[in-house]
Structure 1
Amino acid sequence: MSEQTQAVGKNETMSAEMIRKLRSAPILSSLKDDELRCLEGVEEVHLPKGATLVRQSEMVHNFWILVEGEVEIFWVYPDGRETSVACMSKGSAFGELPLLANIPSVVNARTGSDSTLLQLSEEGFWKLMTTCPGVRKAILSNMADRVQKMQSVTVQQEKMASLGTLAAGLMHELNNPGAAARRAASQLRQNLLRLHQISLKFKQCDLTSEQKKCMFDLQDHALADQRPHTMNSLEQSDAEERLAEWLESANVENAWKLAPTLVSVGMDEHELMCARDEFQGDMFSDALSWLDALVSSMQLVGTIEESIGRVTDLVHAVKSYAYEGKGKKQSLDVNESIRATLVILAHKMREKEIVVEKTFAQDLPALESEAFGLNQIWTNLLDNAIDAVSAKGKIRVRTWAETAQLNNGNSRKEICVMVADDGGGIPLDVQPQIFDPFYTTKPVGVGTGIGLGIVQRIVDQYGGSIHFSSVPGNTEFVVRIPAARQ
């Protein structure tokens, strides 16, 4: 990177031109000339387009004021993709946040065009902050504004990252019931054609009143609202084998295919005896095939209804997740909010065969609030729990209400939510930092890496609190939110 610098030394008098350039920064525009002279030691740096100032995850060693040109702020994902975060224009000051917080940069910065910057070293920056109260106040005010904007952007990026992570699972969730409904509809069409063909045969044979009565009785039995008692796998297998053998002895076609369907509605050889007595030869096979098609069709209709219901539940969960809390006061059902998040994360739990124990309080009060982002709390806590447990692990979710006593002597109703897992736990050396802004053990852009910092911020917006305890085999996060906040 080529650059040209012009420094203002400690013993040199700052020129009027340099003071003019410093005052071009909005954060310094109201300061007097004497206050601006605290910035002695600043360098004027000329950089070409594409020059790198800051790299993601590296420590920052300078503070800059952009005099001419522009500086692009962006993220780089692990796969090399870049996402623009902001574009610094003339007069922008930056670099103070990582210097003051002593944290690595969470973004990259490069010149978007040939640019001129005023650059102050880390040592000079700290001297400035300790000796120049006017400049210090201006820089801290600018930093506070930038932190607020960065957190807002981070919340949005976090939500988009969460939705992106869940998108593939949602497509899988929607595809399963869709495919099941399509298969069922195809089989239902075949059954209807089979019923039509058999009905034509019966019409040509001119059934007797006894035969019609037998068929109507079997139909009533098959379509009865009262279902037969549920058999275990062994009982059902024995019943199917016994009926198939009986059907084979009567020379019924496809006996082993018909038996499971007939057994599923509680039919055995005694129930079918009237059909065997009234229908001779191939007519007996046709009668049972007609009955099988009727029963199978009703079961397929149930499959289609269940599949469409599953899709409806998913759509409801996504709408609840995406649209809850849009900046206006509303009444939220916390139990329903958690259920929606569990539906969206179900694919990840199935992949690891995770057992989820849910204990939802039936008397949980509604949450009255203007804040938003409630679902992001559950998404991050549950997503972290899923990552923490091993295959066939266990996650526990519990809700309850408590009456909390306040310092002023009043009391308030609080909604409490616990998310616990039996994973390896959070290491002791990491525990003090897990809620720190921008602290993460995951690469930027992967999953919900900055989740716990976001969780605490959203909980604070609701006027609540979040605490955790963690030992190997049991990690518990407990969120407490006032049901109604003044």
Structure 2
Amino acid sequence: MRRVPIFSQIKDEDLSCLGDVDLIDAPTGTVLISPGEPELSYWVVLSGRLRMTKLETDGTKTLMATFEAGDAFGEVPLLTGATSTAVQVKMTSDGEVIRVGSAGFWRLMGTCPMVRGAVLENVGRRMGAYQVMTRHREKLVTLGTLAAGLMHELNNPGTAARRAASQLRENLTRLQQISLRFSETELTPEQKRCLAQLQAEALRDRKPQPMSSLEQADAEQELAEWLEDVGVDNAWKMAPTLVQVGWECDDIVCAQHAFPREILSDALNWLEALISSLQLVGTVEESVARVTDLVVAVKKYAYADKNRAGEIDVHDSIQSTLTILAHKFRHKQLTVEKSFAQGMPTLHTTGTGLNQVWTNILDNAIDASPDGGKLSIRTWKDAEFLYVGIADQGQGIPEDLREHIFEPFFTTKPVGVGTGLGLDIAHRIVVGQFNGNIEFESHPGKTEFVVRLPLEAPPEAPAPKPGLDAGIS
């Protein structure tokens, strides 16, 4: 063991405090630690190489660390009071390791200050590295969730536009065929006036009175039966299109009188194809507008924090975050109730990351909310601060857990679901970047987080003057 740096200066009497230890000859592939093992130990690598991995909830494995001759590990779960292991440690080459039981580890920590100091130094370094790694994974998971949601949001209007374009092609073909048949028929002045009247009425922006489903079904049946009686082909297909834009039997009665039965069907099918085409063009416009709105929201979300010094519209920031998370609200059928204060000023700040604050708080609120519940977002201000309150209708935060809610790696979610960094990150951004504060109130049926942000950025501290005190920190 004296080949291991951490034990190189230890006295014989201190080393004897370890008691009995296991010397393990471990060939390649030997699993020394498996997830869930209740017995914790301290390990010393005499030779060979090892690999420590953590199995994530999505089935992937995250490399936590690698060890080789001279390294020691296992002190972190012992010192943090863990009740079981969460990682797998496997030999990647033949080697020898020493396993020290928890009792021997604690005796050594109590009797040898030199080893104790080295162990605690390792703990600080490893906890820092683990925190950085977990934060990085948290950001990647958030990014992946947002990207998947964005693709889902873009797919809906994209599919609608594609379907409308396909139907529009069919309508244009029908219009061309009917127009060609009309060109082979000598139309009377009355027939031309009727077609012009129908076209003008179709092109007019009509906003029909809204109808219930039953009323609409009755209107479609009445119109379809009338069209069939006057000899119109596709009457049951044509009727829903005409009723949807407010047409009734009286609106097309001129065609019945102007056209003989053999060409009346062409005249009304031409009208239906024209109206349907206009509706499809509207669908394409709405779909493209939705895509544009999503792109604008993503740009605001992604680039709002690029300039450190500037102004932030909090309402705009919240709205872009809501757009990005829309798929999660729909998945749980949640209603968002917004109560935004009028005339809210912009924040003058040098802080960054405000969108990430809303994302983390809203994501927790969504997880806490029951299906079909409601989330409330409200804003208000006073002379110095701007406030944002985000409330859910969940079960609330238990009293004994509230003091830990902003601690890193602390989570009330099931094992493997949360990393415990969402509120820690939000708290660090609000306090560290914006000099603000986050508080919360919670009881069964309502939990509200309130973010307080100063309207004006605090003045920067003056640089120290040259002199005796300049180098003191």
What CA distance in whole angstroms lies between the structure 1 residues aligned with 2:280 and 2:12?
Answer: 80
What CA distance in whole angstroms lies between the structure 2 residues aligned with 1:304 and 1:124?
Answer: 72
* 2:437 corresponds to: 465
Alpha-carbon offset, residue 190 of structure 1: 0.8
* 1:257 corresponds to: 237
What CA distance in whole angstroms lies between the structure 2 residues aligned with 1:168 and 1:341?
Answer: 14
What CA distance in whole angstroms lies between the structure 1 residues aligned with 2:306 and 2:116?
Answer: 37
Alpha-carbon offset, residue 140 of structure 1: 4.2
1:456 aligns with 2:427: yes
1:474 aligns with 2:434: no
2:376 counterpart SS class? strand
- Corresponding residue to 1:438 among 409, 426, 448: 409
What CA distance in whole angstroms lies between the structure 2 residues aligned with 1:165 and 1:385?
Answer: 16
Deviations 1:376-405 (A, max 9, x none): 4333433333333333222222233444xx
* 1:192 corresponds to: 172
How do 1:186-265 residues align onto structure 2 when only pairs under 5 Å count? Answer: 186-225=166-205, 227-265=207-245
Alpha-carbon offset, residue 93 of structure 1: 5.1
Shift in CA distance, 211/325, structure 1 to aligned 2, threshold 3 Å: same
What CA distance in whole angstroms lies between the structure 2 residues aligned with 1:392 and 1:167?
Answer: 24
- Residue correspondences, number: 452
What CA distance in whole angstroms lies between the structure 2 residues aligned with 1:423 and 1:391?
Answer: 10
User: Partner letter of residue 143 of structure 1?
Assistant: V
Deviations 1:49-101 (A, max 9, x none): 44555554666744556565443232113565422133345555544443333
User: Partner letter of residue 392 of structure 1?
Assistant: G
Normalised by the length of structure 2, the TM-score is: 0.79
User: Partner letter of residue 343 of structure 1?
Assistant: T
Cα RMSD after superposing both structures:
3.8
What CA distance in whole angstroms lies between the structure 2 residues aligned with 1:367 and 1:92?
Answer: 50
* 1:385 corresponds to: 365
Is the 1:174–1:314 contact (alpha carbons within 8 Å) kept by the matching residues of 2?
A: yes
* 2:287 corresponds to: 307
- Corresponding residue to 1:426 among 397, 408, 412: 397
What CA distance in whole angstroms lies between the structure 1 residues aligned with 2:100 and 2:355?
Answer: 43
- Corresponding residue to 2:385 among 396, 399, 413: 413
Is the 1:35–1:135 contact (alpha carbons within 8 Å) kept by the matching residues of 2?
A: no
Structure 1: runs of 5 or more not aligned: 1-5, 7-17, 404-411
Alpha-carbon offset, residue 222 of structure 1: 1.7
What CA distance in whole angstroms lies between the structure 1 residues aligned with 2:125 and 2:348?
Answer: 30
Deviations 1:217-253 (A, max 9, x none): 3222222245344444455445434433443443333
What CA distance in whole angstroms lies between the structure 2 residues aligned with 1:309 and 1:361?
Answer: 27
Alpha-carbon offset, residue 198 of structure 1: 1.0
Alpha-carbon offset, residue 478 of structure 1: 2.2
Identity %: 50
1:175 aligns with 2:155: yes
Is the 1:59–1:98 contact (alpha carbons within 8 Å) kept by the matching residues of 2?
A: no
What CA distance in whole angstroms lies between the structure 2 residues aligned with 1:127 and 1:367?
Answer: 56
- Corresponding residue to 1:360 among 336, 340, 343: 340
1:85 counterpart SS class? strand
Is the 2:160–2:287 contact (alpha carbons within 8 Å) kept by the matching residues of 1?
A: yes
2:4 counterpart SS class? helix
Shift in CA distance, 244/21, structure 1 to aligned 2, threshold 3 Å: closer
- Corresponding residue to 2:274 among 294, 297, 303: 294
How do 1:53-72 residues align onto structure 2 when only pairs under 5 Å count? Answer: 54-56=33-35, 61-63=40-42, 66=45, 68-72=47-51
Normalised by the length of structure 1, the TM-score is: 0.77
What CA distance in whole angstroms lies between the structure 2 residues aligned with 1:381 and 1:257?
Answer: 49
What CA distance in whole angstroms lies between the structure 2 residues aligned with 1:189 and 1:197?
Answer: 13
Is the 2:50–2:68 contact (alpha carbons within 8 Å) kept by the matching residues of 1?
A: yes
- Corresponding residue to 1:98 among 70, 77, 89: 77
Shift in CA distance, 370/429, structure 1 to aligned 2, threshold 3 Å: closer
What CA distance in whole angstroms lies between the structure 1 residues aligned with 2:313 and 2:419?
Answer: 24
What CA distance in whole angstroms lies between the structure 2 residues aligned with 1:232 and 1:102?
Answer: 63
Shift in CA distance, 422/142, structure 1 to aligned 2, threshold 3 Å: same
Is the 1:365–1:401 contact (alpha carbons within 8 Å) kept by the matching residues of 2?
A: no
Alpha-carbon offset, residue 453 of structure 1: 4.0
Moved more, 49-58 or 186-195: 49-58
Shift in CA distance, 317/37, structure 1 to aligned 2, threshold 3 Å: farther
1:419 counterpart SS class? strand
Is the 2:312–2:346 contact (alpha carbons within 8 Å) kept by the matching residues of 1?
A: no
What CA distance in whole angstroms lies between the structure 2 residues aligned with 1:315 and 1:162?
Answer: 18
User: Partner letter of residue 21 of structure 1?
Assistant: V
User: Partner letter of residue 22 of structure 1?
Assistant: P
Moved more, 310-319 or 283-292: 310-319
* 2:5 corresponds to: 22
How do 1:260-339 residues align onto structure 2 when only pairs under 5 Å count? Answer: 260-318=240-298, 320-321=300-301, 325=305, 331-339=311-319
* 1:11 corresponds to: none
